[in-house]
Amino acid sequence: MNEKEEPFKPSIHGASKDGKRERAFELSLPALVTGMDALENRFREKTLITSISSEEATIWLRSQVLVGAKLDISLDIPQTLILENSLKLQLTGTVLLAQAESQRNGKKQLVSLRLDKKFKLLPIPPSIN
């Protein structure tokens, strides 16, 4: 091996060379978001997650929220061929960006969140029919 050659470095598909970038998934999962709005009133709103990664999530909200606000998100992950039972994923995050949009899907703000590292993944028992 030539001394100037670099040793083999494994890479992960979808990750950048410096490892700082991660893969985000564009999807539409129902979510329940709770937190404090811009007027410091507690709110609870059903919405859709439009994009999520291990560090960030993007949602549309009718409630006006401020940058820095802490929000709780609860996602129902449906049963699939490889997921035997549905799961509930509970996350918390801090608002990074709250961008006003006019009349998009009846929502007023596109909200980007920095997700906390801690989360809860709970099984949802199958319903008895």
Q: Which structural domains are found in the chain, ordered by start? A: 25-123 (2.30.110.10)
pLDDT of residue 105: 56
pLDDT of residue 7: 42
Residues of the chain with pLDDT under 70: 1-27, 102-107, 127-129
How far apart are alpha carbons 21 and 78 in whole angstroms?
27
pLDDT of residue 15: 38
Which neighbouring-strand residues pair with 123? 87
Nearest to 65 by CA among 99, 102, 90: 99
pTM as predicted? 0.71
